[in-house]
Structure 1
């Protein structure tokens, strides 16, 4: 997966849409696509003002539907991503991909959005500001911080109280406190981070995974090239895919015990954290399906 990330960044660099003077060419024409999470994929394909390119694997009953633009294309994409709990507007969209696995659902369960971002070799500070403004946009639209059930609920405000660089009290968390969407890391932390950045939020029955890749091929303390994506995935699909393939037909029956095992790992890590004087975010509200009985 990270190899694909690196390839995406390589393809992105060098087609950045600049004039000879280095100014980004801004296009005025925008195509608006309305996406209702959980609605039929076929409805979106029929109603979209931009035609999707489809690639299907009949044997697996899976199709990938995509719209791909270059960063200097004649028009940009603008998305409205809605569900009962939230309504999100995204512009400067370079590409949109939808996975349609008919064995799971004929509805929109997985989409990936790639954003244009800033011109190549903009400063780290400019990129940090842009990405946190994107996170704030999701939060304002009704998306909330997400903790994976086995991860200790340690907010970013507690980072100074322990050594988190190797592990977080015995865990390598999916939702790391360094990437707390409710706290902006310092520029020093930002530049000192690995080339991969990950934030997780949820709204209703969907997760949003903000994925950022920083080009580290040319080391620079001042500037960088960043690739920005957001994956929206239904919790049903997210959890079904967490099981081994042979277990997936019965994943809903297996899920309660699986969740309890994950929450036990969280409890163990949080006990160690409390003993070290680290505060736990007790008021965190998990998605409804992750509330243990």
Structure 2
């Protein structure tokens, strides 16, 4: 990189910098300063690959779409606000939901544009006016502290919101497949829907079978003993469970009580008949009938 040219005295040397190298160095310095200023002054483009950097420090993040008219109207205001991020001590970012559908699901973005404030992993949704002065005052006066933060179970870095983000990615993939079937293969809309319906039914059946097998593997059914299987048939052809010894003893006692009542009832009837006979024989008004001879 350096060239030493010898002079008249061999012990002395002079360092000569090539002109091309000097020009290249100046160009590199200017380019690097340009890049640094653009990163520092402009908003950071966030995606599903680098979104986790907003979990550290203070951020203001906008979710937008190129086709959204309100997002287009906010774009110059947002870029002007991003120029103040160095003075405000924050970072400003933006997310294109068409390129990062998983982030729209992770943050549950249902309207565009949507602005979030993040402070060390704690998120709050900005719902104040969308002019530059309101945005600057929101950060400088710490008005975000007056807002209730998003609950932990709806936090973008939670496990359940990560699962929801995958569903949003899947919906974007299915939408791309739908458009491809219609544009490339010329299928009508109902034909594409029919294909998706059949695929959904087949996939649901396979998943249901896998879930049942998994449940049987984790919680296997209890084995049935031989005594539980033993049953008695009744007259109608059905089956009755085997009677326990206590039930048999109860039935026997009931039968004994019934026999005693019948016996006592018959004895009482015989005694009543004897008394009636005695009373009729002792009565004077009773006429005795003579026996008649058979003809």
TM category (shorter chain) comes to under 0.3
Bigger proportion of residues as strand: 1
| Greater RCO, CA 8 A, separation 6+ | 1
TM-score by length of 1: 0.21
**Greater C-alpha radius of gyration:** 2
TM-score by length of 2: 0.21
Bigger proportion of residues as helix: 2
